[in-house]
Structure 1
Amino acid sequence: MEPSTHLRQSNCNPTIKRGLRWQKKAAIKLGLGACLLAAAGSASAQKTVTTAPPAPYGVLPSQNQLNWQQNNLYAFIHFGLNTFTDKEWGYGDEDPALFNPQHFDADQIVKSIAQGGFKAVILTCKHHDGFCLWPTKTTTHNITKSPFRNGKGDLVREIEQACRKYGLKFGVYLSPWDRNAPSYGSQQYVEMYRAQLTELLTQYGDIFEIWHDGANGGDGYYGGARERRNIDRSTYYNWPSVWALERKLQPKALIFGDIGADLRWVGNERGYAGEPCWQTFTPVSNEPGKAPSNGTIKSELSTNGTRNGKYWMPAEVDFSIRPGWFWHASQNDQVRTALNLWDHYFLSAGRGASMLLNVPPDKDGLVYKTDSIELKLFGQLLKETFAKDLAKGARATATNIRGGDKKDFGPQHLFDEDQFSYWSTDDKVHTPEVTVQLKGKQTFDIIRLKENTKLGQRIDSLQVDGWLDGKWQLIAAANSIGSNKLLRLPAKITTDKIRVRIIAAPVCPALSDISLFNQSALVDQLQQQARQQKNTAAGNTKASDWKVSSFQDAKASLATDLDPATVWQAADQTGQLTVEAGKVRSVLGIQYLPASNSKGAIDKYSVSVSTDGKDWHQVASGEFSNILASPVLQSVHFTTPVAARFIRLEALHTADGKPAAIAELSVLE
């Protein structure tokens, strides 16, 4: 008998039956009265005795984190001096006078982002070069020393106000590393950093997220010292005290970093979370004997998270709509398409993380037209696809309902659009099934599942069947459900019935949502266009006139074979590769593509040219910033065209200390 069944049964007291033998009429009256009293007592018991909810499992999200999971689509805005110097990481010696976006329009920028369906914006208020986009009192290296608004501008204010106007939340990025500050590396700088945080968190209204970068310490200008400054990342900033300040000033803000406190970096900048992607996490330091900190974790563990981790710390997937984080004119033809963004939406938000897409304004202070068009198309895909839930109005039957209490724990809660109402089972039932009878036959290719995360992340794995050709057939499977799981089917199916089977769980489930959607017809149109463009590009591809020099090893040709999947690796970290043409050419620069896994990625380089292969002179040197996390195509543009028959790329240093690797090396003419 189920635990609550006896509460619904009502039996008359046996003494009433004995009374019938003594005095029929009186007994009848007495019996009826007793039965009524007994029934009333039983009904009262039914009202007061309820089935207890499941005990929470593992660590749990805070209210701020629960609010976050309702809006998992945000935009980054990287904008600053790098936009005008064509760099990714400024050295810190750039003149603020270079910052002059003459047509800056915060409304155009935020509106372009909003039309993509994004719910919030995070602005890089200060990047590693130390240039502040607001009139801070902490340093003169700020926007008041630029021509912007005649030295009286506040770009942070303008973006913040545009966000409020278009209904988007506003967040701030403040780089802990400052390559301009003379005091960087001392306690004085830590106090300066906290003062900057205080300004941003007290002068610009409600802040929804505070973003801390893991890049800390290295080469820099540092007020003219021009040196390398290393810090102990595990102790220098004293992150717990920084978080305490942020909690005090903005109690509703989420705090992002490699180690949280609320959200973790996903461990890559390529636009994907792992499969599975657990919303709990235990950071592990990459420095033996030290506590994990921002910039010192084993980031490869962040991609999947930690099952039964120490902290509730969901992942944030940050990547850019372009190869670089800042706008570069040379990348105007490399903007991600709406279809590409759509794929990455399923690889990020669809795996229980947030999708944080960078949209960098150009030198005019506007979102470039190509970027804006693709954002609008992406927003259309979202709107059209998720406009109608095909499971709405469905009926469901489950193999078990917690305590037999259909009202509180029945499967009807799977369709009520409330993430915190849920279907659950008795404590000992960990692998139940629920069958969903749809309102007629429906055609769909997306399944959405959610758990009531107030009770923790409970389900390890499940499978979904469809009733096809008169039998159940497996159509999808998933690990780690959490606050949002989107399963995209390889093809559309049509059925009037599906079944969800919990395969593994350490406790009873608390499943809150089963929804079905049909991808917009626009997806098929964009896929067809992409195939046509790919075929056209393949037909136009021709071998480069630049070949690896004969004195290089035989495998060096892998670097010029037009195949990014093949990689040439040098014998050591400071390897070099030389290419040559049949005659002297006018050259504008080179392009370097690292291996897709970042192994041996060159971060410090030198480029030299020669007309005869004997006399060489250097034409460029520098750093490929952030290349370990973002191994994308790097361009080196010479200051003036040079005459060359031979070109040599020399690796001065690699980001991971491994032998230098080149997937592709090409010449710009």
Structure 2
Amino acid sequence: MRKLLTAILLLASITFKTSAQTTTDANYTALQQKFVDLKFGMFIHFNIPTYRDADWPDPETPASAFNPTKLNADQWAKAAKSANMTYGCLTTKHHSGFCIWDTKTTDYNVMNSPLKRDVVKEYVDAFRKNNLKVMLYYSILDTHHKLRPHQITPKHFEMVKAQLTELLTKYGKIEAIIIDGWDAPWSRISYDDINFEDVYHLVKSIQPECVLMDLNGAKYPAEGLFYSDIKTYEMGAGQRLAKDKNVMPALACLPLQSSWFWKTNFPTTPVKDPAKMVTELTTLNQADCNYILNVAPNRDGLFDDNALAALKEIGKLWKNDGPAPKLAATGAPIISSNLAKNKQANSSWSDDMNIMDFANDDDFTTSWTSNAEVKSPWYEIDFGHDTEFNTIAITEAKPNVTAYHLEYLQNGVWKPIAKGNDASRVKIHRFNRVWGTKVRMSIDKAEAPASIAEFGVYNERR
């Protein structure tokens, strides 16, 4: 198995080296537009949890538990069509680590279950046969393989890359991949533990037109793209898109039933009101948001009758009226590690307890705030040694600063990077790579005392 993993990763490495990242802002905008134009799709949570009445089952649940005796992916596809959906997205691996495709990376997979059939293949074949597009879901958190906080090893990272490589090479064109269990308060696996930039470039090197999303909408500001090609909102977890002022292409997800995976009470428990689902869908679409509604197959591998009836009713109430309005360009997302995180920070006089450390603590809910008496406030990161970087992202607590300039310290001399006249809350500057021991933002004009939620410094691969 180790030799096979090495071969898969070598193939991915060769692909990456011969497929330089050439995505332009226009390419990003086109991909985002294509995604938002899809408008409405079906999430399908189907995996080991289906058989344990729990979304987070015992990670030692045996593969023998997975036994859908009547599995019929064509039923799923036809149900999606009945609701006028345009695509599906299947949970290839959830947090408990069970793989429902024919993987060579672990024995904990569907081929060692009573089914012994590649569910991912049956799903993609059925959806394409019904003229529906195909997306995949993949969890970084993996409790069975002990890929969890404080236990992550290089072998775990090799497994992640090998599994993603399989999923993106064995099943044809994948429109998008939704990643979960990463950089979330409940997973506590950071983008440094499993390097986001490596995963992002791997995905794009294999399928450049695959939209990559991480379900991280709860953490990052709505006005910027951080670690995702599309802003994502898990509405079932209380994450809500500001429909009246959204400025980013978005995805929102919600289960039709009471939870993501099938439970024994689902056949007799009413699903969500189809009319309310259509109202939600219409409102989200008007805000540049694609809506993905989860429908959970039962232990036979089929949708329950109440879910099928609800999807048909949705299809009667909602018709796809064509492409979404033209999106504004967002530029490429931030995908690199933040070099400023938890480094020594300095600033001009702060407002009470809102000191400089709050602007580089990887928490967008806290801020450094300048004292109102300071006329020319400044904020600074000290790396402690020469560091190379080529991107700075400044996120304010609220839009306020309208003029500022950026500098870096090299060999004891401050040198200019950029001047900004940007009134938006998230201000991103990309420039030619520089080396410096410090980087500083000087605020030239603000309507109120400056308040910086996060000051990010990055060395992006270009």
- When the two structures are superposed, what TM-score results if normalisation uses the length of structure 2? 0.59
Structure 1 CA distance, aligned partners of 2:305 and 2:235? 27
Partner of 2:271: 335
Amino acid at match of 1:158: E
Residue 278 of structure 1 is aligned with which of 237, 246, 267? 246
CA 1:190/1:112 → structure 2, altered by over 3 Å: closer, same or farther? same
> Would the aligned equivalents of 2:29 and 2:329 in 1 still touch at CA under 8 Å?
no
Partner of 1:135: 102
Structure 1 CA distance, aligned partners of 2:326 and 2:185? 44
Partner of 2:123: 159
Partner of 1:81: 48
Structure 2 CA distance, aligned partners of 1:96 and 1:118? 32
* 2:200 maps to 1:243: yes
Structure 2 CA distance, aligned partners of 1:98 and 1:104? 14
The alpha carbon displacement at 1:75 in A equals: 1.0
> Would the aligned equivalents of 1:127 and 1:178 in 2 still touch at CA under 8 Å?
yes
* 2:324 maps to 1:324: no
CA 1:238/1:372 → structure 2, altered by over 3 Å: closer, same or farther? same
Structure 1 CA distance, aligned partners of 2:43 and 2:99? 16
> Would the aligned equivalents of 2:42 and 2:294 in 1 still touch at CA under 8 Å?
yes
CA 1:356/1:260 → structure 2, altered by over 3 Å: closer, same or farther? farther
> Would the aligned equivalents of 1:61 and 1:453 in 2 still touch at CA under 8 Å?
no
Structure 2 CA distance, aligned partners of 1:156 and 1:171? 10
After the TM superposition, which segments of 4 or more aligned residues of structure 1 sit over 4 Å from their partners?
58-61, 215-219, 454-457
Residue 110 of structure 1 is aligned with which of 53, 59, 77? 77
> Would the aligned equivalents of 1:115 and 1:379 in 2 still touch at CA under 8 Å?
yes
CA 1:163/1:260 → structure 2, altered by over 3 Å: closer, same or farther? farther
* 2:326 maps to 1:452: yes
> Would the aligned equivalents of 2:183 and 2:191 in 1 still touch at CA under 8 Å?
no
* 2:287 maps to 1:351: yes
The alpha carbon displacement at 1:68 in A equals: 1.4
> Would the aligned equivalents of 2:182 and 2:191 in 1 still touch at CA under 8 Å?
no
The alpha carbon displacement at 1:215 in A equals: 5.0
CA 1:232/1:175 → structure 2, altered by over 3 Å: closer, same or farther? closer
> Would the aligned equivalents of 1:109 and 1:366 in 2 still touch at CA under 8 Å?
yes
The alpha carbon displacement at 1:350 in A equals: 2.8
- Post-superposition Cα deviations, 1:600-653, rounded to whole Å, max 9, x if no partner, equal xxxxxxxxxxxxxxxxxxxxxxxxxxxxxxxxxxxxxxxxxxxxxxxxxxxxxx
Alignment of 1:375-390 (within 5 A): 375-383=311-319
Alignment of 1:286-435 (within 5 A): 314-332=249-267, 333-383=269-319
- Post-superposition Cα deviations, 1:488-520, rounded to whole Å, max 9, x if no partner, equal xxxxxxxxxxxxxxxxxx9xxxxxxxxxxxxxx
Alignment of 1:496-507 (within 5 A): none
Amino acid at match of 2:242: G
Structure 1 CA distance, aligned partners of 2:36 and 2:279? 20
Amino acid at match of 2:137: Y
The alpha carbon displacement at 1:243 in A equals: 0.6
CA 1:70/1:163 → structure 2, altered by over 3 Å: closer, same or farther? same
Structure 1 CA distance, aligned partners of 2:40 and 2:301? 23
* 2:143 maps to 1:176: no
Partner of 2:65: 98
Amino acid at match of 2:89: I
Structure 2 CA distance, aligned partners of 1:275 and 1:106? 34
Structure 1 CA distance, aligned partners of 2:193 and 2:90? 24
Partner of 2:230: 263
CA 1:158/1:379 → structure 2, altered by over 3 Å: closer, same or farther? same
The 3-state SS of whatever aligns with 1:62 is helix
Partner of 1:29: none
* 2:158 maps to 1:207: no
Alignment of 1:609-620 (within 5 A): none
> Would the aligned equivalents of 2:29 and 2:330 in 1 still touch at CA under 8 Å?
no
Structure 2 CA distance, aligned partners of 1:232 and 1:163? 32
RMSD: 2.6
Structure 2 CA distance, aligned partners of 1:452 and 1:169? 21
> Would the aligned equivalents of 1:208 and 1:253 in 2 still touch at CA under 8 Å?
yes
The alpha carbon displacement at 1:451 in A equals: 4.7
> Would the aligned equivalents of 2:270 and 2:306 in 1 still touch at CA under 8 Å?
no
Structure 1 CA distance, aligned partners of 2:184 and 2:247? 29
* 2:144 maps to 1:190: no
Count of paired positions: 293
The 3-state SS of whatever aligns with 1:453 is coil
Point out the more displaced range, 137-146 or 64-73. Answer: 64-73
The 3-state SS of whatever aligns with 2:265 is helix
Structure 2 CA distance, aligned partners of 1:107 and 1:89? 27
Structure 2 CA distance, aligned partners of 1:131 and 1:102? 18
Partner of 1:616: none
The alpha carbon displacement at 1:64 in A equals: 0.9
Amino acid at match of 1:203: K
- Post-superposition Cα deviations, 1:397-444, rounded to whole Å, max 9, x if no partner, equal xxxxxxxxxxxxxxxxxxxx8x7xxxxxxxxxxxxxxxxxxxxxxxxx
Structure 1 CA distance, aligned partners of 2:105 and 2:36? 35
> Would the aligned equivalents of 1:60 and 1:456 in 2 still touch at CA under 8 Å?
no
CA 1:124/1:183 → structure 2, altered by over 3 Å: closer, same or farther? closer
Structure 1 CA distance, aligned partners of 2:111 and 2:56? 21
- Post-superposition Cα deviations, 1:294-345, rounded to whole Å, max 9, x if no partner, equal xxxxxxxxxxxxxxxxxxxx22101100111001121331311221211211
CA 1:242/1:115 → structure 2, altered by over 3 Å: closer, same or farther? same
> Would the aligned equivalents of 1:361 and 1:367 in 2 still touch at CA under 8 Å?
yes
Amino acid at match of 2:118: D
> Would the aligned equivalents of 1:171 and 1:207 in 2 still touch at CA under 8 Å?
yes
Residue 253 of structure 1 is aligned with which of 187, 191, 210? 210
The 3-state SS of whatever aligns with 2:313 is helix
The 3-state SS of whatever aligns with 1:74 is strand
Work out which of the two has the higher radius of gyration on C-alpha atoms and give 1 or 2.
Answer: 1
The 3-state SS of whatever aligns with 2:317 is helix
* Aligned-pair identity (%): 28
CA 1:263/1:454 → structure 2, altered by over 3 Å: closer, same or farther? closer
In structure 2, stretches of 5+ residues that fail to align are 1-24, 217-225, 332-422, 424-462
The 3-state SS of whatever aligns with 1:111 is helix
> Would the aligned equivalents of 1:61 and 1:454 in 2 still touch at CA under 8 Å?
no
The 3-state SS of whatever aligns with 2:292 is strand
The 3-state SS of whatever aligns with 1:376 is helix
- When the two structures are superposed, what TM-score results if normalisation uses the length of structure 1? 0.41
> Would the aligned equivalents of 1:59 and 1:456 in 2 still touch at CA under 8 Å?
no
Structure with the larger RCO, 1 or 2 (CA within 8 Å, 6+ apart): 2
The 3-state SS of whatever aligns with 1:204 is coil
The alpha carbon displacement at 1:253 in A equals: 0.9
Amino acid at match of 1:358: N
Partner of 1:485: none
